Structure 1
Amino acid sequence: MVLVAPAETARANRRRGSAPDGVTFWHTLYLGTTRYNMAPDTPDPDAEALFPMAFLVEQDPGSTANAHYHQQDQFQLVVGGHGTLGLHEIRPVTVHFTGAHTAYGPIRASQDEGVWYFTLRNGFDPGARFMTMPRNRVALRTIPGRRHREAVAGPLSTPTSPTETLLGPDPDGMTAWRYTIAPGEAVTGADPAAGRGQYWVPTVGSLTHAGQELPKLSCAFVYPDDPSFQAIAGPDGAQVIAMQFPLHRSCPDDHA
């Protein structure tokens, strides 16, 4: 069953947060759970399980999130402000994919606006492992089969067709698309069985899926065994980013 998180519902979860490297931000949980809202002593979900985990980060102006990695594949979708991610300029709309145990960053937020981005995963992750900590660098080198996997699309220009492939398609299914939909028109996504879950985020306008409205910056997760995602654009049309995970975790072994 498709999981849906309308933006106005998620907004009730908006909280201040800070990471171990000192970066500060607003954190809005959409789907799943994170270390910012888990009760003390709660066991982590199984790292191998399919576990949608989606939240919006509003990184404070002038702040820097140091280079780090995660134990899960992830997409990041930049939807507000601007800054840099490593050597890449990021502003709306930018799509970034990193495989599990791929170090990336730093993320430097602009001095005037900061930078806002969705973090979207299909498996539970306990938090960033910063490369400024020697034990994390050592642990990363000990993971068998690890490879650096990273892809960026954007900042995106004006759409040139109703459906655009932004990343991939890779042989293992990793793909990102942008759909531009006229008012009242329908969209049908790719077969989700080709990957290990899809996220859909309207960045302009709104959608209606199965009778539920998804305004701008809402979020939906489509499981691999769900039918293809279907929705209808609202009265102002819509632009939607759809992101599909690889069929298998990029690097399942974690010795960190």
Structure 2
Amino acid sequence: MPLTASAEAARVNRRRGSAADGVCFWHTLYLGTTRYNMAPGTPDPAPDALFPMAFLVEQDPGTTASAHYHQQDQFQLVVRGHASLGLHDVRPVTVHFTGAHTAYGPIRASQDEGVWYFTLRNGFDPGARFMTMPENRVALRAVPGRSHRESVAGPLQAASAPGETLLGPDPDGMTAWRYRLDPGAPISGPDPADGGGQYWVITKGSLTRQGETLPPLSCAFVFPNDAPFQAGAGPSGLEVIAMQFPRRTTH
């Protein structure tokens, strides 16, 4: 069954945080858990388990998050502010995908307003492994069969079609789409069995599903064994980004 997280409900989870490289930010948990809110002594979920993690990062203006990598596949969705992400200029709305053990960044937030981005994973990750630390570079080189995998779409222009493919589709199912719906229009998503789970993030308007209305910056996670995601646009229409992970492998 899909998991949903309203932006309004998630707001109570907003916490101040700082990373190992010294960057400060606000962190709002939507789904799952992260090292910023886990109780001491809580064991990590298995790295090969399907475990949705979704949170919103509000990176402080003028800060730079050092280049790093994670043990899980990851989507990032820029929804406010602007920054440079490696060689890419990212503004709303930009979709960024990195495969497990792919180093990316740095993320240089703008001086005036910083940058907000969702971090979305389908497996538990204990945190960033910064390339400024020699032991992390050694560990990355030791990962068997690793390859650099990174894709970017955006900043997106105003939607001119009801549906468009932004990334992929790749042979292993990794794909990202954007949908624009008129008020009250229904939507049926792609078959989630083609990938390793889907996130749906509302960027404009609202989404209605089974009596629930989700406002902008809300999200849903669809499991691979769920039926295609069914929803409708709210009274002001809907713009939503759907992101599908590659089929699961053991990293």
- Name the TM tier (shorter chain): over 0.9
Q: Which residue of 2 aligns with 1:31?
A: 31
Q: Which residue of 2 aligns with 1:56?
A: 56
Under a length normalisation based on structure 2, what TM-score does the superposition of the two structures give? Answer: 0.99
AA paired with 2:226?
Answer: D
After superposition, residues 129-168 of structure 1 pair within 5 angstroms as: 129-168=129-168
AA paired with 2:71?
Answer: Q
Q: Which residue of 2 aligns with 1:14?
A: 14
What is the aligned-residue RMSD (CA, Å)?
0.6
Deviations 1:199-250 (A, max 9, x none): 000100000112111110001000001010011101110100000000124x
Q: Which residue of 2 aligns with 1:219?
A: 219
AA paired with 1:30?
Answer: Y
Q: Which residue of 1 aligns with 2:169?
A: 169
**CA distance in structure 1 between the partners assigned to 2:130 and 2:97 by the alignment:** 18
Q: Which residue of 1 aligns with 2:183?
A: 183
Gaps of 5+ in 1: none
Under a length normalisation based on structure 1, what TM-score does the superposition of the two structures give? Answer: 0.97
Deviations 1:19-58 (A, max 9, x none): 0000000000000000000000111001000000000000
**CA distance in structure 2 between the partners assigned to 1:158 and 1:118 by the alignment:** 20
**CA distance in structure 2 between the partners assigned to 1:160 and 1:142 by the alignment:** 45
Deviations 1:146-199 (A, max 9, x none): 000000000000112110000000000000000000000011100000001000
- Per mean C-alpha deviation after superposition, the further-off stretch among 118-127 and 154-163 is 154-163
What percentage of residue pairs aligned between the two structures are identical? Answer: 76
**CA distance in structure 2 between the partners assigned to 1:10 and 1:214 by the alignment:** 12
| Matched residue count | 251
Q: Which residue of 1 aligns with 2:82?
A: 82
Deviations 1:73-96 (A, max 9, x none): 000000000011000001100000
* Other structure's SS at 1:8 match: helix
**CA distance in structure 1 between the partners assigned to 2:132 and 2:17 by the alignment:** 20
After superposition, residues 208-247 of structure 1 pair within 5 angstroms as: 208-247=208-247
AA paired with 1:167?
Answer: L
**CA distance in structure 2 between the partners assigned to 1:141 and 1:135 by the alignment:** 10
**CA distance in structure 1 between the partners assigned to 2:145 and 2:186 by the alignment:** 42
**CA distance in structure 1 between the partners assigned to 2:53 and 2:248 by the alignment:** 16
AA paired with 1:118?
Answer: F
Q: Which runs of 4+ in 1 moved over 3 A?
A: none
Q: Which residue of 2 aligns with 1:40?
A: 40
**CA distance in structure 1 between the partners assigned to 2:64 and 2:144 by the alignment:** 30
AA paired with 2:24?
Answer: T
